[in-house]
Amino acid sequence: MPKEWAEPQLGIHQINMPISEGIDISLQHDLLFATLGGTVELSHIITFNLALIVALASPGPALLVAIKTTLTSGRKSGVAVGLGLGLVASLWTLAALLGLEALFILFPWAYIAVKFLGASYLLYTAYGMWMGARKQIASDVKPTRHSFRQGIIINSLNPKSVLFAAAVLVVIFPINMTKFDNLLVVANHFFVEIVFYSVLAFGLSRPRVGESYISAKVYVDRFASVVLGALGVRLLISR
């Protein structure tokens, strides 16, 4: 094939040509952005955040534990458990970006082991909620470091988080993202989680909400226990 027919290859030196050579500023920026791999746009982040907020607001172990912790131990503990949940969730997203879901596919036993541990912890937590439903609120108050640690454990032992993150990332974000893009997505995920759980903690820590919980504590705790137990069993038997 004649050399002049060959498809031109873009290089950094070609992109940084002066405007006087026939390229305007916006086109220079677009070409440089594409060549360096910067493919994440604001629309991608907004779409991801909407999907993430819907997932966070859906009934699940993380949400239930966050609600229960705030109602029983106060605002600081609610924010602390949210920090733990958000930290691990954002790390699951990072793992998905690095291809950890492929590792689970290659080594199914690893996925099964983590899933079994996660289901066991959920069932243990559900049992504790059920047995402590009639206890006074003061007996449930724990240090914030305990709440932070519980948030870490809850999300660490849920391997489906990385599969969910991988599915969402594939649908929303383009391929061949740069390291900066990956860090941006992970940092954004952590920020959204922290904002969500902080708002939840501040809202639930209002006196009127606390009084309502105290009056219905037995029923709320038993309901949360049943839901958590069902989620644990579902995680245990699902593929």
Q: Which of the two residues, 175 and 155, has the higher pLDDT score?
A: 155
The overall average pLDDT reported for the chain is 75
Tell me, what's the pLDDT at 139? Answer: 44
Closest by Cα among 81, 88, 53 to 204: 81
Eight-class DSSP state of 134: T
Q: Which of the two residues, 195 and 16, has the higher pLDDT score?
A: 195
Residue 83 confidence (pLDDT) above 70: yes
Residue 226 confidence (pLDDT) above 60: yes
Instruction: Report yes or no on whether pTM surpasses 0.85.
Output: no
Tell me, what's the pLDDT at 148? Answer: 94
Per-residue pLDDT of 8-43, as tens digits, reads 444 333 334 343 444 444 444 443 334 334 578 888
Q: Which of the two residues, 15 and 171, has the higher pLDDT score?
A: 171
- pLDDT-derived band at 136, boundaries 50, 70, 90: low
Q: Measured between alpha carbons, how far is 156 from 117 in angstroms, rounded to an integer?
A: 10
Closest by Cα among 147, 136, 33 to 82: 147
Q: Measured between alpha carbons, how far is 239 from 162 in angstroms, rounded to an integer?
A: 14
